[in-house]
Amino acid sequence: MAVGKPTFPEMHPVAGFRLGTTAAGIKKPGRKDLVIMAFDEAATVAATFTRNAFCAAPVQIARDNLVKGSPRFLVTNTGNANAGTGERGLADARRVCEALAELAGCRPEQVLPYSTGVIGEPLPVEKILEGLPAALQACTEDGWRDAGEGIMTTDTRPKGASRRLSLGGKRVTITGIAKGAGMIKPNMATMLGYIATDAGASKLELKQMLTSAMNRSFNRITIDGDTSTNDAVSLVATGLSGAAIGDDNRAEFQAALDAVCRELAQGVIRDGEGATKFVTVQVEGGRDGREALAVAYTVAESPLVKTALFASDPNWGRILAAVGRAGLHELDVNRVSIWLGEVLIAERGGRADTYTEQAGQAVMDEEEITIRIHLGRGDASETVWTSDLSHDYVRINAEYRT
């Protein structure tokens, strides 16, 4: 179950960035579950990782290897998170890096490993090692669709986004894929995301632009309020377009990168586990962004709000209650206004005089819904995207290991 049509966009190849996918049988025979992404040593790489204290072994290794510089390969397995696995997990992640390095003729520290799947179970290293040659051989600049499928877990469809723009008279491409459907409240990353561009940029510039894009996209989504142990987003710049990002074109490139990240992040919400609604929570009139986000996330993660959304029930009192418990200092409820779509539902501490149940019901019957909240305290605003909470979400996660 997902919101909207399961369309996969045209994915423009990125010069110098190759993807290869195979079925290694990590969890289910015949399912695509092992992906290699390859690029030249001259490329620059930036990444963000989960802030969960129990970060997975591959996150620790990838983070360390990135600091050492000059990565050339990203390798991802699904079906097993290699998280909560202690020293054995670290050793297993290193074995994968060492095996791919030997096959590809590079150093182990030039490989960044990524994993997603069940937490707490040993990584089936031998299956991964056996699958590496096929994935490496399959690497091609047109491999985005297969890779998008190869990184899926409980996702029902691959998620991709691609943009082209002109910088300094040269055509530049930005293309990316992401996966994620549950355990989603990113904190510096989404479940897994991979973006590549043929523009040239320094490592510092790339990291700054990725961080900025994240704070407008992946760090503004939530399905269930759970931050994964394995969150990671990587951005690779091959530089082969001949266009370099500088002060005169950085804003233009940033806007395109923001658009790719936002499309991918919203794709994660649309494919949320059991999702039937795509919900935008806009909070305006905050004293600062922090309190606007606090209100947005409190509403977006409220089980009572989310179940009302699933039922298409305009139970506006649940939204009102969530705003009130968001922890804002000296909130004047008489200055708060709340809308469902264009329908004003609450103002001056209670139900709006113009509100009717029929009008609220018409909005809640839609597949895509906007909840807008004005706090009446200042000029800050923030937007968060979320989904509803359905029977299927409970079933999927109750049966996750069966």
Per-residue confidence band for 97, with pLDDT thresholds at 50, 70 and 90: very high
- pLDDT of residue 355 exceeding 90, the answer is yes
- What's residue 185's pLDDT? 80
pLDDT digits (tens, 9 = 90+) for 115-150: 999 899 999 999 999 999 999 999 999 999 999 999
**Residues recognised as catalytic:** 190
Reported as a single tens digit per residue, the pLDDT across 57-88 is 999 999 999 999 799 999 999 999 999 999 99
Pick the CATH number of 278-398 from 3.60.15.10, 3.10.20.340, 3.30.1300.10, 3.90.226.10: 3.10.20.340
> CA 246, CA 250: separation in Å to the nearest integer?
5
Nearest to 320 by CA among 348, 342, 284: 348
Which residue is associated with the tokens 């269930």?
224
**For strand 192-197 and strand 221-222, is the pairing parallel, antiparallel, or unpaired?**
unpaired
List every span in the chain annotated with CATH 3.10.20.340: 278-398
pTM value is: 0.93
CA separation for the pair 364, 5 (Å, rounded): 19
Q: Inform me whether the pLDDT recorded for 367 exceeds 90.
A: yes
Long-range contacts of 392-398 (CB under 8 A, 24+ apart): 392/1, 392/273, 392/274, 393/182, 393/224, 393/272, 393/273, 393/274, 393/275, 394/274, 395/274, 396/154, 396/182, 396/273, 396/274, 397/182, 397/273
**Six-digit token pair at 304?**
């009572």
**What angle, rounded to 10 degrees, do the helices at 86-104 and 125-137 form?**
30
pLDDT 10s digits, 251-308? 999 999 999 999 999 999 999 888 999 999 999 999 999 999 999 999 999 999 999 9
pLDDT at site 190: 59
225 falls in which pLDDT band (50, 70, 90)? confident
Range list for CATH 3.60.70.12 in the chain? 17-270
Task: Please report the pLDDT score of residue 206 as a whole number.
Answer: 96
What is residue 182's predicted lDDT score, i.e. its pLDDT? 77
The answer on pLDDT for 248 being more than 80 is yes
Q: What is the mean pLDDT of the chain?
A: 94
Q: What is the CATH number of domain 17-270?
A: 3.60.70.12
Tokens encoding 23: 């079925």
Residue 189 pLDDT grade (very low, low, confident, very high; cuts 50, 70, 90): low
Q: Which two tokens stand for residue 31?
A: 């399912």
* Cα–Cα distance measured from residue 223 to residue 158, given in angstroms and rounded to the nearest whole number: 17
